Amino acid sequence: MGTGSDNKYHSVRRNAESAPAKFGYNSNSGLFGNNGNHEGIREIKTDNPIKDARELFAIIANGGWKRLKNDSGMEVYVLPDNTYITLRIHTKSGSPAVDININSNPYGSKVKTQKIHFI
Amino acid sequence: MTKASRQLSEDSKKVLHSTIGKRIECFRVIKDHEKTRPIGLVVVDFDDGSSIEIRNSEDLVPFFDGKEELNGFSCKEFDDRILERIPFDKNKVPTSTIKSIDLITDKIVVHSNKFEDYIIIIDAGIIINGDKHSYIFALDKVFFFEQILCSVDGNFEEMRPLGEVKKYWEMGDHIIDAEITRASEQI
């Protein structure tokens, strides 16, 4: 069973578009937040990095299946459209991060592969 | 030119080299992981009872004008005390005696109108050549993902197509293009 409690089909596009404005999702670029030092590296400034990372992860991974959860705060879910979503509470750069790894772009989804740091 | 690098350490190369002459018996992945696409770790068991782990983990390296976690391979002898905490699934594979090991390295040169040319060197694959079969371990195309693509007698170019790697590194308005070359070295 996935993270969501409903039985609807959850694509990464649908989940991304349901994210609150504070996460800065741009449906034209398919990216969250602001540019980091590569377009695929994103930054979201927040007063509560861990809470917001967990919140965005729960939204993007909604309807997915758990592939991994380890004791260092890393969780990996896969959505029905084969998108992998990773939550990293502890990273070597110090900020929690949510990764979106797109393996296909069904239904015209523009969501791009990206790593989102919460700083 | 500035440079980021995620390459196998000399210690990891020694561990791989030490397996030459042994017979591969099976792969182990963490329970419920897909056997051809485990995340983070593959354990290779040999006929003499020894095992090594091939790990894909992140490390913080200089990256454009900052630092970023890049994923890469490392290898060491498997410490089976981990089995007390984490269950593994054993997957039998066609057996072979190891004859040689190839390391596949991707060199990416990113041309940008914002930064000077940037070089990224990543050891992207390990190919264990047996007398009957070859065993391939490849990084995913994305630089921040721990997935390991595993195959017996597969085609590395199909597992990690250069075109897809290139596409990823060309993301961004300031990127002009990315050149990618792939090299193979026997270790």
Distances in Å between the Cα of B28 and the Cα atoms of B25, B33, B79 are 10, 10, 13
Nearest-angstrom CA–CA distance, A25 and A34: 9
Contact status of A67 with chain B (Cβ, < 8 Å): yes
> B169-185, pLDDT tens digit by residue?
888 777 888 999 999 99
Contact in structure between A86 and A101 (CB atoms under 8 Å): yes
Q: pLDDT band for position A1 (50/70/90)?
A: very low
Domain spans of chain B, in order of start: 2-186
Give me the phi and psi of A32, to 5 degrees please. Answer: -100, 160
Interchain pair B171, A84: CB under 8 A = no
* Chain segment A49-96, per-residue pLDDT in tens: 999 999 999 999 999 998 888 877 889 999 998 899 999 998 888 899
The 10s digit of each residue's pLDDT in B3-42 is 889 999 999 999 999 999 999 999 999 887 788 889 899 9
Residue of A36, A68, A113 lying closest to B39 (CB–CB): A68
Using alpha carbons, select from A16, A47, A45, A46 the residue that is nearest to residue A31.
A16
Please give, rounded to a whole number of angstroms, the shortest distance from the CA of A93 to a CA of chain B.
7
Categorize the per-residue pLDDT at A6 as very low, low, confident or very high, splitting at 50, 70 and 90: low
The pTM of the full predicted model, rounded to 2 decimals, is 0.89
Q: Which of B32, B58, B64 sits opposite A37 (nearest CB)?
A: B64
* pLDDT tens digits along B32-86: 778 888 989 999 999 999 999 999 998 998 888 788 889 999 999 998 888 878 8
User: Which of B63, B68, B171 lies nearest to residue A112, judging by beta carbons?
Assistant: B171
Q: Does the beta carbon of A119 lie under 8 angstroms from any beta carbon of chain B? A: no
- Does ipTM exceed 0.90? no
Q: How far is CA B15 from each of CA B9, B12, B143, rounded to the nearest angstrom?
A: 10, 5, 24
User: Dihedrals φ, ψ of B166, to 5°?
Assistant: -60, -45
Contact A40 B171 (CB under 8 A): yes
Q: Do A93 and B68 touch (CB under 8 A)?
A: yes
